[in-house]
Amino acid sequence: MRVAVTGGAGFIGSHLVDAFLACGDEVMVIDDLSSGRVDRLNLDTVTLHQVSVTDAQAVTDLVTTFTPEVICHLAAQISVRHSVADPAADAATNVMGTVNVLAATAKANARVVFASTGGAMYGDSVMLPATEDLPPGTEAPYGVSKYCAEQYLALFNRLHGSTHVALRLSNVYGPRQDPHGEAGVVAVFCDQAAHDDQPTIYGDGEQTRDYVFVGDVVEAFLAAVRYPGDGVFNVGTGIETSVLDLLDAVSAATGRHLEPRFAPLRTGEVHRSALDPTRAAATLGWKATTTLRDGIRTTYEALTRPAGHSGPNSGSRHSTERYPVPNSAGASGVQPSTESTAIATKTSAR
Ligand SMILES: NC(=O)c1ccc[n+]([C@@H]2O[C@H](COP(=O)([O-])OP(=O)(O)OC[C@H]3O[C@@H](n4cnc5c(N)ncnc54)[C@H](O)[C@@H]3O)[C@@H](O)[C@H]2O)c1
């Protein structure tokens, strides 16, 4: 199968790329490398195009040339705080970028599996765990842009008879997540445990999230690719974990005592969040299987592994054990273009 992964140099996207390669699929990555990293990919087995999904013509050209059967669309502006500070930039990437991917896909007759949000979709006023049928109650532009993108998916399905799928991910964690980014509190706590740094908790620490391991999320994407229909599916565990409990879990898994300092709560964040995964279990046959304790341990081990062992073939116990990348998948490397020059420069600088 030919698969395109937008955002494939990102945290989740790069694990997904490994999984497709392990299945023997031919993979093309579209990523502007704004937060993605080339060293998460094996350029011997995957073709990377440093292109923004906001560039409609470039996306159309790539999709119509590669003719993928499936496009997993993960490229996005992912920061809730940035979306509050600059909602137009958030919408440009998350709404217009998705419209561009859908328009290109319609021409190539491919399916889209879209990485939406569950954590930022439902707001605070709902019964938990939240089901997909609840009306959106987003507290930030990021949630609005993801919901808007979902609506475009549904519209394209009605207009073109396609079967695009949206996966509403809860809080994803695991190896390769940037500990210096905003989204990954597990990665942040693990990094602080490794360096004996004091963690900061925003608010009272009683706010809850539904933490799902990246290997389980990859399995959800694979299940959605196999599923012949369309729809919207929560991808979470259904379990609420408070930030204070998460800190305890990281302390237990790493053997490091972490004493937090507290800071004011940040704008745009919901207080409680958990996703009901019943629909994904019944329809896609998917269920998260990694316990928080095992997932944290795997994340910490990957983070503290000696330098030089963080690439695509060793960054995650789950990604390497579940998705061993073949030595030669037959796919070409970076295309000879101006983009490849930029990529080569970035690679050698690391
Ligand atoms: N990590 C989570 O907890 C979580 C939760 C819910 C939804 N999601 C969604 O999952 C997807 C992947 O998230 P992630 O955590 O791996 O983030 P990430 O930042 O690691 O990955 C996003 C990737 O998209 C690329 N990108 C950003 N803007 C782009 C553009 N205009 N054109 C092309 N590429 C662009 C980045 O360079 C990066 O490689 C996103 O769509 C995100 O909204 C993530």
Q: Kindly tell me if the per-residue pLDDT of 319 is higher than 80.
A: no
Residue 45: CB within 6 Å of ligand 1? no
What mean pLDDT do residues 114-120 have? Answer: 96
CA angle 172, 78, 16 (to 5 degrees): 50
- pLDDT tens-digit series, residues 284-299: 999 999 999 999 999 9
Q: From ligand 1's centre to the CA of 32, what distance in Å?
A: 11
Q: What is the pLDDT of residue 312?
A: 57
Contacts of 200 (CB under 8 A, 6+ apart): 260, 261, 262, 263
Residue 101 CA, ligand 1 centroid: distance in Å: 15
| CATH architecture, domain 2-173+212-238+275-291+309-349 | 3-Layer(aba) Sandwich (3.40)
pLDDT given at position 298: 97
What is the pLDDT at residue 107? Answer: 85
Q: What is the pLDDT of residue 269?
A: 75
- List, in order, residues 6 or more apart from 236 with CB less than 8 Å away: 118, 129, 168, 169, 170, 210, 212, 274, 275, 276, 277, 288
- pLDDT, one tens digit per residue, over 16-66 is 999 999 999 999 999 999 999 999 999 999 999 999 999 999 999 999 999
Q: For position 126, what pLDDT does the model report?
A: 81
pLDDT tens per residue across span 131-162: 999 999 988 999 999 999 999 999 999 999 99
Peptide bond just before 326 cis, omega within 30 deg: no
Q: Which residues contact 26 (CB under 8 A, 6 or more apart)?
A: 1, 2, 3, 329, 330, 331
Ranges 47-51, 66-70, 167-171, 202-206: which has the least confidence: 202-206
Q: From the CB of 35, is ligand 1 less than 6 Å away? A: yes
Domain boundaries of the chain, sorted by first residue:
2-173+212-238+275-291+309-349
